[in-house]
Amino acid sequence: MINIVLFGKPGAGKGTQAAFLKEKYDLVHISTGDVFRFNIKNETELGKLAKSYIDNGDLVPDEVTINMLSSEVKANPGAKGFIFDGFPRTIAQAEALDVLMSDNLMKIDGTIALEADDEILIQRLLERGKVSGRSDDQDEAKIRNRFEEYNEKTAPLIDFYKKQDKFHSVNGIGTIEEITERLSAVINTL
């Protein structure tokens, strides 16, 4: 079993790469955004709770998010492993994820950060925004704000996972195939 956290700034290619890695290693891909959308759309108890926070303009508390992820992990008892995409985003979330994994007799084997220059990522996101319709990908000021939030809240995870000897950095610039090869080279060492 192998469990991976994939992180990087918006536009770094996490979702694209997670789809390839999921197939290659037969892993379950857990995207926090997808889990939220599923639970809200299907009006699960957790979805209704999350929606109540979102509707008030508040962030969904970590406890609610962890409970959703716990449900996803438990719904896949025969999994060969998981790719967590979009979570954790803070040290408190990383600690909660470690507890969740331990409670299920698992652990995070490695975290891989897709690294890319901000200006390249901005161009990627602006291009994606033309086809995705996502308003947060169409405004450069909003994109830069998301990068600031990442630097402030998510970048400290690097030290958290370095202390556990689980942090790996991968160049996120190149063809999709080249980046998948770089990620695979890291995964194969875990």
Burial class (CB in 10 A: 0-12, 13-18, 19+), 20: middle
**Per-residue confidence (pLDDT) for residue 118, from 0 to 100:** 94
Annotated binding site for AMP, which residues? 32, 37, 58-60, 86-89, 93, 134, 146
Give per-residue pLDDT as tens, 47-79.
Answer: 999 889 878 877 788 888 899 999 999 999 999
CATH class of 2-116+157-187: alpha beta
Q: What is the pLDDT of residues 119-169, one digit of tens each?
A: 999 999 999 889 988 777 888 988 898 898 888 888 899 999 999 999 999
What per-residue confidence (pLDDT) applies to 13? 92
Write out the catalytic residue numbers.
14, 89, 128, 134, 146
pLDDT of residue 173 exceeding 90: yes
Domain ranges of the chain: 2-116+157-187
Cα–Cα distance for residue pair 43/31, rounded to 1 Å: 18
Binding residues for ATP, as ranges, are 11-16, 128, 174
